[in-house]
């Protein structure tokens, strides 16, 4: 069955530290890949997305992600986190064949210490 794995459930960093959140998916067909952020008490916001082309995708707020097809991975990175990045981050994978369907990872809760 199709699944999305986020390896880190909780991450605690100090401000200015670098961030990398892992995301792997299990689906052999064509996929679209997304990272969403959910700030405390707020709704989902799209950070970035990958459909095709350059596998290094830049999103909002200084985030980027790299699609590595051979590893079925789409890791999220930020070189220097801020306290305001404290939030929950969700990786999501959408397949377009066999019916449009999006599967979300379990989420990674990031806490940035000031």
Partner 1 sequence: GAVVSQHPSWVICKSGTSVKIECRSLDFQATTMFWYRQFPKQSLMLMATSNEGSKATYEQGVEKDKFLINHASLTLSTLTVTSAHPEDSSFYICSARGVGRATYNEQFFGPGTRLTVL
DSSP 12: E
Torsion of CA 55, 36, 47, 96, to 10 degrees: 50
Q: Which of residues 11-70 bind partner 1 (CB under 8 A)?
A: 32, 34, 36, 43-44, 46, 49, 51
Q: Are 40 and 79 in contact (CB under 8 A)?
A: no
- Is residue 101 a contact point for partner 1 (CB under 8 A)? yes
CB closer to partner 1 out of 34 and 63: 34
CB of 93 to partner 1, least distance (A): 12
CB closer to partner 1 out of 26 and 96: 96
What is 75-109 written as a DSSP string? EEEESS--GGG-EEEEEEEEE-TTS-EEEE---EE
- Token match 């992600």: residue? 65
Q: How big is the site for partner 1, counted in residues (CB under 8 A)?
A: 21
The residue ranges that bind partner 1 (CB under 8 A) are 32, 34, 36, 43-44, 46, 49, 51, 90, 94, 96, 99-107, 109
């Amino acid at each position: 069955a199709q699944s999305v794995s986020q390896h880190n459930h909780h991450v605690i960093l100090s401000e200015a530290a670098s961030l990398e959140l892992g995301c792997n998916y299990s689906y052999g067909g064509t996929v679209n890949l997304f990272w969403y952020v959910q700030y405390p008490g707020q709704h989902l916001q799209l950070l970035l997305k990958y459909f095709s082309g350059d596998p290094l995708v830049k999103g909002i707020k200084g985030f980027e992600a790299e699609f590595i097809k051979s590893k079925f991975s789409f890791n999220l990175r930020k070189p220097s986190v801020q306290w305001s990045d404290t939030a929950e981050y969700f990786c999501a994978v959408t397949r377009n064949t066999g019916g449009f369907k999006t599967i979300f990872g379990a989420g990674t809760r990031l806490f940035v210490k000031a």
